[in-house]
Amino acid sequence: MIDAHASPLPGPSPDEGGFLEAGRRLFAEPCDFLWAASSVPSLPPTAGPEIAFAGRSNVGKSSLLNALTGRKSLARTSHTPGRTRELNFFGLGGDVKQAKLRLVDMPGYGYAAAPKEQIAQWTRLTQDFLRGRAPLLRCFVLVDGRHGLKPPDEEMMDLLDRCALSYQLVLTKRDEVKDAEAERRVAETLERIARRPAAFPQIVFTSSRSAEGVAELRGAIARLLAEQTV
């Protein structure tokens, strides 16, 4: 995990060691599909903390969810943009009423192989969910680490800033980026979010293929949960 006060691409800092282990234990819990919602009225009843995962179509949301939970097919992966068409809820460590944490896989934004009316419906659902979901602690915004922030990512961050919902950027596809380029990508991304009011000032660079950064992301989530109970 990288923040504005750290050197590029460091290993876990000493004070994160406990959260890395807490994250490992948390994501060793069983995780199962709970619910799919295509509209606000069809959302599951609130029960415990939630975190959401957003990103452009084909950025690797489903692959990262599978890597986080150690499941090969928890979330369906596809090379077809727009495959995730609902808000998909997964329960970590319990059922729909007792899960320790709910993970929400959101429809990809940007290009999607779907009619414009369908894309507009997904957009409205996303906006309504982010604005009015009380148990939602943070949205993790996935950005393709090979290319960095694009206009659709900026639009999502604008929305999250307006909603005053905490969000954290997660760069993906680390295995496809050389070290020197990765350092530049992290530095430029931190600079671009520095003045955004709802942006959490740390970045995790991940690879679902090599698992790089996955432990750090688990630790960041464990830390977020711990801070809610203080």
pLDDT of residue 68: 95
pLDDT confidence tier of residue 211, bands split at 50, 70 and 90: very high
Q: What is the pTM assigned to this prediction?
A: 0.88
Q: How many domains does the chain have?
A: 1
**Residue 183 burial (CB < 10 Å; 0-12/13-18/19+)?**
middle
Structural domain boundaries enclosing 94:
2-6+14-228
pLDDT of residue 111: 63
Q: Is the pLDDT of residue 7 over 60?
A: no
Q: What is the CATH number of the domain that holds 172?
A: 3.40.50.300
Residues 6+ away with beta carbon under 8 Å from 43: 35, 37, 87, 129, 133
Express each pLDDT in 45-94 by its tens digit.
Answer: 998 999 999 999 889 998 999 999 998 777 654 444 445 578 999 999 87
4 or 190: whose pLDDT is higher? 190
Radius of gyration of the chain (CA): 16
Query: What's the mean per-residue pLDDT of the chain?
Result: 86
Q: How far apart are CA 110 and CA 155, in angstroms?
A: 10
Express each pLDDT in 109-167 by its tens digit.
Answer: 876 566 777 777 778 888 999 998 999 999 999 999 999 999 999 999 999 999 999 99
Mean pLDDT across 92-108: 87
Q: Is the pLDDT of residue 182 over 70?
A: yes
pLDDT confidence tier of residue 208, bands split at 50, 70 and 90: very high
Q: Six-digit token pair at 11?
A: 């290993």
Query: DSSP code of 201?
Result: S
